Amino acid sequence: MRSFLLDALRRGTATVRPPAPGPAALEELAKALAERARQRLGRSLAIREVDAGSCNGCELEINALNNPVYDIERFGLKFVASPRHADVFLVTGPVTWNMREALLRAYNAAPEPKWVVGVGDCAANCGIFAGSDAIVGPIASVLPVDLHIGGCPPAPLEIVKGLLALIEKAG
C-alpha cells in the first residue's frame, strides 16, 4: 500500500482536465436567456427543480448554477420553492413510484405556460436504474417533456444552453 501511494505521489495526477468555457460564454448565454424570457413571459424565468429519483449527480450540477462561478440569479433567472410560481420544471432521474404522485401534483399546481425539462440521461431512459421495480419509467411516461438535456450529469453551461433553446422554441 505504501509503495502504491508513493508511486502515485511521484507520478502526479493521471488525467488532465479540459479547459473550461470562459466566463464570457456563460455571461452571453445567460443574458440571452434572461432577455428571451422577458420577451416571452414579460418577467424573469422561474425554475423549479424536482428530483424524481436520481442519484443526485444532476442536482449537484443544477445547484452549481447558483454558486459564485455561474450565479445565474444576477441575470434574473431564479429558482423557486413553490410549483405555483414556476415556469420551468427541471426534473432529474427516472420517476420512482414514491415520487409519481408528488410530481403530478406539482405539475398540476403550476400556472400556464409551463414547461418540463428532463435533465440527465436517467430522465430520458432510466439510465442505471432501468429494470428496477421501484421505477415507473422515464419522465415522459408521467409528464409531457418539452426538452431533454442529455449527459450524466450535464454541465451547468449545458443546462443554461438547454433552457435558452427551450425559450427560443416556445417563443
Confidence of residue 1 (pLDDT cuts 50, 70, 90): low
pTM: 0.79
How high is the pLDDT of residue 12? 66
**What digits encode the pLDDT tens for the residues 58-76?**
999 999 888 888 888 888 7
How high is the pLDDT of residue 120? 93
Rounded CA-CA distance 68/41 in Å is 26
Rounded CA-CA distance 110/84 in Å is 5
Asked if residues 77 and 31 have their Cβ atoms less than 8 Å apart, the reply is no
71 burial level (CB within 10 Å; 0-12, 13-18, 19+): middle
**What digits encode the pLDDT tens for the residues 11-59?**
765 554 544 566 677 778 778 878 887 888 778 889 999 999 889 999 9
Higher pLDDT, 8 or 162: 162
Orientation of helix 57-64 relative to helix 156-170, angle to 10°: 80
Say which residues have a Cβ less than 8 Å from residue 149's Cβ, sequence separation at least 6.
117, 118, 119, 120, 158, 159, 162
**What digits encode the pLDDT tens for the residues 61-116?**
999 888 888 888 888 788 999 999 998 999 999 999 999 999 999 999 998 888 99
